[in-house]
Structure 1
């Protein structure tokens, strides 16, 4: 069974295989967008737009903001009132302008650049043609030694420790950027750009370098995850991350929350697919949200 793995899919499976099953197997999606996640996406989009078109930033940002919110109307969002919805738009635009001032000028080559690669061992050259790696690089810019990668994170507080040097997702981006010339490639500069939404917006940089050893570890992880998915190995991994997971109502047996999040048909559908063997033989059209569409 061919499998395509992205950064989001990898991180979802590693954090909680059951979350992966619900999101990518059953394709369950909340009826409405969570305001915090929505605003994070809005700022992400506006900052990328501002970095890419810095020469016309005063014109670009308002247009980018308008188009983003037009694609996410009030009815699809979890805001309690139109007033809150409009306040979020103004706040995201103002914070994005501040973040861009703090970032300053940058030689941006591309934003949301898509890469695809057939999984290949960087040391042996062995090709695993049933596994495809896909990624969208938030920002590709000209670093000191060549093309470099920035992954944008929108957070509510300053991260407690640097993690770029051990990040699987940054290794994935470096892997895609150097594919397939791993032996000849220079180490890739990577960084998390943390946009911190405190009362006074601020940013922090978390920088590292990834090389062929990081790519080898990534290939091993991708192979293990792909094999586990093929075998139907999905289990719950409870922890602090459950607090902001959309699926906590289903996993924790809170039927009221699950219905509020996904709709009335979700409980029966979820119960019918808890058995792994039954899940593996279900047709995608059984998803009640697909039927409704």
Structure 2
């Protein structure tokens, strides 16, 4: 069975191999989603809907907002009260309208474009059939030089660093968009569209142009990550990323928080698989290669 590396899986392993194991090996998930993540998804959905149907924004956005929250009931969310949950719905709609005003007209070729290809070396054309690369691109926009990648980020403050030129996720998206004619393909324009949820919402663009060198680097990264996963190499990588990780209570031994967030089963299962030998004995019954994003 080919190993499928989505953008989300690749970034999870790069940030912390143990996080990858918990999410995609043991398939542990929080009982309730973090409100910040929920609202980020909601605004993604509304902004994309507004860009696709700009001529009918006033009709489309309220319906899109209603449908998103219908699919995200209160019981699955980490809000303290139903009032907080309802307030989030109102604010997400209001913020999205303001973001769309700031973005203005944008020629959109595709929204949530799903591309899945076998890993292919951009210089030699060598194909690794055992590794499939998948990406779900937020926006593909039309520019004078061709299709461009735009990845939407919802953040609480203006980013302090320019990241587009060195971003593995944008390199992966550009690589997928250029497939399979890398030699003949033009460099791909990419950008992070930062939706900044300050008191007065604002946006910034972080732009770059990526080509063959970046494609070769992302292929090397994918090969190394795939090899490590297949060998069962998982280790903790403590750092700033722990601050927003759903599994930090497991790694840090905080049983009460882990049970509250992930359930008693998750805590007990994690204890069974903490050491490499135990995990390898259980791993034939697990499937770290599932297709989840």
Fold conserved between structures, TM > 0.5: yes
* Residues in 1 aligned to 2:82 and 2:174: alpha-carbon distance in whole angstroms: 42
| Alignment partner, residue 187 of structure 1 | 187
| Alignment partner, residue 138 of structure 2 | 138
TM-score normalised by structure 1 residue count = 0.96
The total of aligned residue pairs comes to 287
Cα deviations by residue, 1:23-81 (Å, 9 ceiling, x for unpaired)? 11111000001111111110011101111111111111001000000001011111111
| Alignment partner, residue 120 of structure 1 | 120
* Residues in 1 aligned to 2:255 and 2:68: alpha-carbon distance in whole angstroms: 32
* Residues in 2 aligned to 1:45 and 1:17: alpha-carbon distance in whole angstroms: 29
Are 2:97 and 1:85 equivalent residues in the alignment? no
Q: Report the Cα offset of residue 243 of structure 1.
A: 1.0
* Residues in 1 aligned to 2:2 and 2:140: alpha-carbon distance in whole angstroms: 29
The 4+ residue runs of structure 1 with deviation greater than 2 A are: 275-278, 280-287
| Alignment partner, residue 47 of structure 1 | 47
Distance 1:281 1:2, change over 3 A: farther
Q: Report the Cα offset of residue 277 of structure 1.
A: 3.3
| Alignment partner, residue 109 of structure 1 | 109
| Alignment partner, residue 290 of structure 2 | none
Question: 5 Å matches for 1:83-232?
Answer: 83-232=83-232
* Residues in 1 aligned to 2:241 and 2:230: alpha-carbon distance in whole angstroms: 25
* Residues in 2 aligned to 1:256 and 1:183: alpha-carbon distance in whole angstroms: 54
Are 2:25 and 2:286, in contact at CA under 8 Å, matched by a contact in 1? no
| Alignment partner, residue 27 of structure 1 | 27
Q: Report the Cα offset of residue 281 of structure 1.
A: 3.7
Structure 1 gap ranges (5+): 288-293
Cα deviations by residue, 1:118-144 (Å, 9 ceiling, x for unpaired)? 000010111111000000110011012
Structure 2 gap ranges (5+): 288-293
* Residues in 2 aligned to 1:113 and 1:78: alpha-carbon distance in whole angstroms: 29
| Alignment partner, residue 257 of structure 1 | 257
Are 1:26 and 1:284, in contact at CA under 8 Å, matched by a contact in 2? no
* Residues in 2 aligned to 1:76 and 1:263: alpha-carbon distance in whole angstroms: 13
| Alignment partner, residue 70 of structure 2 | 70
* Residues in 1 aligned to 2:2 and 2:286: alpha-carbon distance in whole angstroms: 22
* Residues in 2 aligned to 1:4 and 1:286: alpha-carbon distance in whole angstroms: 15
Q: What is the DSSP-based 3-state SS (H/G/I as helix, E as strand, rest coil) of the residue aligned with 1:186? A: coil
* Residues in 2 aligned to 1:196 and 1:187: alpha-carbon distance in whole angstroms: 28
Are 2:119 and 2:129, in contact at CA under 8 Å, matched by a contact in 1? yes
| Alignment partner, residue 243 of structure 1 | 243
TM-score normalised by structure 2 residue count = 0.96
Are 1:119 and 1:219, in contact at CA under 8 Å, matched by a contact in 2? yes
* Residues in 2 aligned to 1:279 and 1:132: alpha-carbon distance in whole angstroms: 24
Distance 1:164 1:286, change over 3 A: closer
